[in-house]
Chain A
Amino acid sequence: MSTVFIAFQTNEDTRPIVESIMEDNPGAVLDEQPAMVKINAEGKLVIKRESIEARIGRSFDLQELQINLITISGNLDEDDDTFTLAWNN
């Protein structure tokens, strides 16, 4: 299994996003660095629109992730409900 990751700027917009990811992906590892937070996971990482909406109390478009995104690793698949990173091996 290879590691996929996603990193965001550390700020109040990303805190609920990071919390949602950590809850939805058991086994994901949080790596906090100066001004950025990186989440590593083995093989696959899924971000769910609903989980973020439940935390922030408003509707959320997954494309909003791009505002605070720093980097990703893995093949991306995005639709209206999920943003998935995975390696095919």
Chain B
Amino acid sequence: MDMKATKKKLGLKEKYAHMTRGLGWETTYQPMDAVFPYAKFEGIKIHDWERWEDPFRLTMDAYWKYQAEKERKLYAVLDAFAQNNGHLSITDARYLNAIKLFLCGISPLEYVAHRGFAAAGRNFPGVGPRIACLMQSLDEIRHAQTQIHALSNYNKYYDGFHDFKHMLERVWYLSVPKSFFDDAYSAGPFEWMIAIGFSFEYVLTNLLFVPFMSGAAYNGDMATVTFGFSAQSDEARHMTLGLECIKFMLEQDPDNLPIVQKWIDKWAWRGIRVLTLVGMMMDYMLPKRVMSWKEAWEIYFEQNGGALFNDLARYGIKMPDCVKQCTVDKEHISHQAWATFYQYGGAAAFHTWSPTDEEMDWLSAKYPNTFDKYYRPRFTYWREQAEKGNRFYSNTLPMLCQVCQIPMVFTEPDDPTQICYRESEFKGEKFHTCSDGCKHIFDDEPEKYVQSWLPVHQIYQGNCFTPSANPADPAFDPMLEVLKFYNFNLGHDNMDYEGSRDQQNFNTWRGLATKNV
């Protein structure tokens, strides 16, 4: 006999209460402080974990249901993409170089985020954040996996996609995003939440995922836009977790304010430095552009971040000081980064190129105060030299900032013709940073940052060569040996796009796709 359901289904709030809060308990065999050893050492005071609110009120059963739906949608698109030669529908194979940088520099960090949120969920005594961190941890491993799956299709046809994990742990420019996550992961659980949950997810991911993924769609890259938006559908939840965490800390005890403010200042600057790479991708690497880095910055940081900090002002939180410098930097950093990669194009696992006249006109329209004055002459000169057969590749190694690990290429806030250097001393040794922001971070925790694994220092110390390298050989070429250690396919992964195997193959295959041969 059929049973009639008589009880009304639980409402969202009741269901959330039963399926999260109801699952926690006070330990008895061991004191709570021994079970949660990292809950107090950062100095954050929490009096009542029950006050934690998750506005999405997501429970595990609903989580599985919606995540499964997202996966079904995503993999249907990936199959269609692979079955229909989707890689030939992109605007131009130059575009793929942005995606190589994404795969090597961003996707592995999704995996670190997975580990970090699993650890944070383990270390928070409160049930609300534990459940939210668990879900985010699962989201992050999904992001790593789906990105690797989606981009593996390009690895069948193009260079530079073959060994992202090996490269992440060794290559000079990939230490920039890697060190950001290592820095956060080696902090305590509350600082991790500010670093990733708040600064990265709430303040900055909009800049990474929204205009860039829209750009991927604009450039015909169905694989990337699909994993990007599938990942981004989880980000709204992550951003909410970051914002709730910060409000929770501030509401729990007034003593938390200075600690939280210090972390916001630090991680806003750390994140903004990493996003230099995204600025360069948007301004130089997308053949069709949705908006400039400066425009994206104005919408997603100045306007949206401004609204956020106005909202947090009631707790005493102030906009980070570094924003003044960012207002100057937004007109420079993407050009300075591309100029650097152009010069070091022999030592990168993606191609670089000279912007065309049309692209330079777009840049001068978007950057009327800076492009023609400081950057167009440089790119024009390099292009002239390349046309004469003197494509310039720097064979020296750049000096790196001790904190952000970016080569010292950024300029003084008040003089865009002068490279910015800052110096600190710790235990009788000198350490160099690229900016006031990074120097400030170094000076606050020198014991941490003197341990940085700086790729250039490591090369000079002899730690970046394969076992077969022989420095005693008169023909020993240190740069070449380092690139072998990085596992680059020399002459295919690196150098200019013009004349590359990617360029030739893409043009040939696209030609075949429209003809019967």
* Chain A residues at the B interface, C-beta cutoff of 8 Å: 2-5, 7, 9, 33-36, 63-64, 66-80, 87-89
- Secondary structure of the B contact surface, majority rule: helix
> Do the beta carbons of A78 and B290 come within 8 Å of each other?
no
* Chain B residues at the A interface, C-beta cutoff of 8 Å: 11-13, 55-58, 62, 66, 69-70, 73, 205-206, 209-210, 213-215, 217-218, 225, 229, 232-233, 235-237, 239-240, 243, 290, 303-304, 306-308, 310-311, 313-314
Report the minimal beta-carbon distance from B390 to chain A, rounded to whole angstroms.
38
> Do the beta carbons of B225 and A35 come within 8 Å of each other?
yes
Q: In the assembled complex, which residues on chain B have CB atoms less than 8 Å from the CB atom of A71?
A: 205-206, 209-210, 232, 235-236, 239
> Do the beta carbons of B70 and A63 come within 8 Å of each other?
no
Say which residue of A5, A33, A66, A78 sits within 8 Å of B66 (CB atoms).
Answer: A66
Task: List, sorted by A's number, 12 A–B pairs whose CB atoms are closer than 8 Å.
Answer: A2-B311, A7-B210, A34-B214, A35-B229, A66-B233, A67-B70, A68-B233, A70-B229, A72-B239, A73-B307, A75-B55, A87-B310
> Do the beta carbons of B214 and A35 come within 8 Å of each other?
yes
> Do the beta carbons of A3 and B303 come within 8 Å of each other?
yes
> Do the beta carbons of A76 and B233 come within 8 Å of each other?
no
Say which residue of A7, A76, A80, A88 sits within 8 Å of B311 (CB atoms).
Answer: A88
> Do the beta carbons of A64 and B66 come within 8 Å of each other?
yes
Alpha-carbon distance between A35 and B313 when the two chains are bound, in angstroms: 35
Report the minimal beta-carbon distance from B307 to chain A, rounded to whole angstroms.
3
Q: Which chain B residue has the least Cβ–Cβ distance from A4? A: B307
Q: Which chain B residue has the least Cβ–Cβ distance from A7? A: B210
Q: In the assembled complex, which residues on chain B have CB atoms less than 8 Å from the CB atom of A72?
A: 236, 239-240
Q: In the assembled complex, which residues on chain A have CB atoms less than 8 Å from the CB atom of B55?
A: 75-78
Report the minimal beta-carbon distance from B469 to chain A, rounded to whole angstroms.
47
Q: In the assembled complex, which residues on chain A have CB atoms less than 8 Å from the CB atom of B62?
A: 63
Given contacts A3-B304, A36-B214, contact A76 B11 (CB under 8 A): no
Q: In the assembled complex, which residues on chain B have CB atoms less than 8 Å from the CB atom of A4?
A: 307
Alpha-carbon distance between A72 and B55 when the two chains are bound, in angstroms: 13
Say which residue of B239, B307, B314 sits within 8 Å of A3 (CB atoms).
Answer: B307
> Do the beta carbons of B303 and A70 come within 8 Å of each other?
no
Q: In the assembled complex, which residues on chain A have CB atoms less than 8 Å from the CB atom of B69?
A: 67
Alpha-carbon distance between A2 and B308 when the two chains are bound, in angstroms: 8
Q: In the assembled complex, which residues on chain B have CB atoms less than 8 Å from the CB atom of A69?
A: 232-233, 236
Say which residue of A70, A77, A79, A80 sits within 8 Å of B210 (CB atoms).
Answer: A70
> Do the beta carbons of B13 and A79 come within 8 Å of each other?
yes
